[in-house]
Amino acid sequence: MRMFKRYLPKLIAKHISRLFSGRLYIDGRGGYHFENGLLLVPVKAQKRHYDTVNEVNLEVKRLRESYEA
């Protein structure tokens, strides 16, 4: 389990795309699980969880596109 002290979507996206599955915790945002290189929404999610998942997954997709180009 990786713990992030600050919410940095690009750094989190790099971590997710490198490890591909696991868990992480972001201070102020909560715990998350990721599978197949994408962040998943927690079971009891609030709006901030959905916003975080959308933003990080968008960064993961940007990273994948930059590797393919």
CATH number, domain of 32, equals: 3.30.1910.10
Please report the pLDDT score of residue 68 as a whole number: 78
25 is in which domain, residue-wise?
2-68
Phi, psi values for residue 35, rounded to 5°: -135, 145
User: Span 5-10, mean pLDDT?
Assistant: 96
Euclidean distance between CA atoms 36 and 30, whole angstroms: 20
Structurally, the chain folds into a number of domains equal to 1
User: Span 2-15, mean pLDDT?
Assistant: 96
Instruction: Concatenate the DSSP letters of all residues of 17-47 into one string.
Output: HHH-SEEEEETTTEEEEEETTEEE--TT--H
Query: Per-residue pLDDT tens for 11-67?
Result: 999 999 999 999 999 999 999 999 999 999 999 999 999 999 999 999 999 999 987
Contact 47, 61 (CB under 8 A): no
Residue 69, pLDDT > 80, answer no
